[in-house]
Amino acid sequence: MNTERLLDELRGLGRSVQSPPVDTEALTARTMAALDSPVQAAATPRPRIARRRWRAFAGAVAAVMIVLALTPPVRAAVVDWFGVVITSGPAVENQPVPPAESSLSMVEARKLVNFEPIQPWTLGPPDGVEVSPDGMVLSMTWSAAGGGVTRMDQFIGVAPTYLKEFLYAAEQIDLGSTTALWFDGPHQVTRIDEAGREQVETARSAGPTLIVPIGDLTIRIEGLDRDRAVEVARSITGTD
């Protein structure tokens, strides 16, 4: 499709998106009145709430770090981090990343999940696309010529969706618009179903993984080294 036509269409789309009407005179009167009591008007609680939430979030991440570093390898501490529940667990053998079992088209896969999936353009079109039977997780895989598989799972990061058991501290990586967690060694990973039950039959050993929260979605990227995974994450979050 050519760029000129796309630009025209975007302009047309922009003009067709209506915003609600606003009473300019009333707003002007209210604003001018508010200038007389600027302290009150400026003391809106909104930014503070945002900051408080950020602190709570940063605190939760710090708690994960400490817990992972200190607790013995038993399933004691549980932290839900954007749909990924992290507990400490034993070290496991490294196993190959499983490729997707079916190959849906993206158009088909999109219809089976209740979110708008993200496609990482830097990796090119995937070889395999699958959706979990409960429609909660969309997975794409890419097979390298050398036999390695790159896997990207995405899901709404609100309900617990994965259980990770990891012995060591995960590393926080600042991506500008979001913070990712990097797990640098093999660890046990298990799907959690909608009712919050562990699906033990799905338990497998996962390799190094990057977890990236993007808006409502959480993305797991597995099968790439740290730098490449971060590069793909940056291309997805648009901070590249």
Segments of 132-237 assigned E as strands = 138-143, 149-156, 162-165, 171-174, 179-183, 187-191, 204-206, 209-214, 217-222
Residues 78-107 that bind another protein (CB under 8 A): 82, 105-107
Backbone angles phi, psi at 55, to 5 degrees: -65, -40
Residues 195-224 that bind another protein (CB under 8 A): 213-216
CA 20 to chain CA centroid, Å, is: 32
Residues 147-176 that bind another protein (CB under 8 A): 158
Whether the CB-CB separation of 95 and 171 falls below 8 Å is answered with no
Which positions from 2 to 41 touch another protein by CB under 8 A, shown as an x/- string?
xx--xx-xxxxxxxxxxxx-x-xx-xx-xxx-xx--x--x
Query: C-beta of 206: minimal distance to another protein in Å?
Result: 22
Query: C-beta of 6: minimal distance to another protein in Å?
Result: 6
Whether the CB-CB separation of 210 and 227 falls below 8 Å is answered with no
Residue with Cβ nearer another protein (92 or 183): 183
| DSSP string for 1-27 | --HHHHHHHHHHHHHH-PPPP--HHHH
Total binding residues for another protein by CB under 8 A?
63
Does residue 114 interact with another protein by CB under 8 A? no
Cα distance between the two ends of the chain: 24
Residue with Cβ nearer another protein (27 or 76): 27
The CA-CA-CA angle for residues 216, 71, 88, to 5°, reads 45
Residues that bind another protein (CB under 8 A): 1-3, 6-7, 9-20, 22, 24-25, 27-28, 30-32, 34-35, 38, 41-42, 44-47, 49-50, 53-54, 56-57, 82, 105-108, 116-119, 121, 158, 177-179, 213-216, 236-240
